[in-house]
Amino acid sequence: MAGPLLTSEPLQRYRALGLAGDPVWRAAPQLRAAITQRLSREHADLLAIPEADPSGRRIDWYAPFDG
């Protein structure tokens, strides 16, 4: 479960890059899992957790834990 909301921004601020043209924030779960496996959960928890709002116009960034 994610912690408190850190910020919310319009999706227009992000540009898709890479082979498939997918925004990197969509790969956040995989990135966090790889960092956890290679380093530690504490390292992965340094990254905010992105979540697109239901309208699909904004992305909300959450802390990984309360506090």
CA distance 40 to 48: 15
Q: What is the pLDDT of residue 67?
A: 74
Per-residue pLDDT of the chain (67 residues; tens, 9 = 90+): 579 999 999 988 887 776 777 888 888 999 999 999 999 999 999 999 999 988 889 999 999 988 7
User: Hey, where are the domains in the chain?
Assistant: 5-62
Q: What is the pLDDT of residue 1?
A: 57
Rounded to the nearest angstrom, the gap between the alpha carbon of residue 51 and the centroid of all alpha carbons in its chain is 7
- What pTM does this model have? 0.80
CA distance 22 to 12: 13
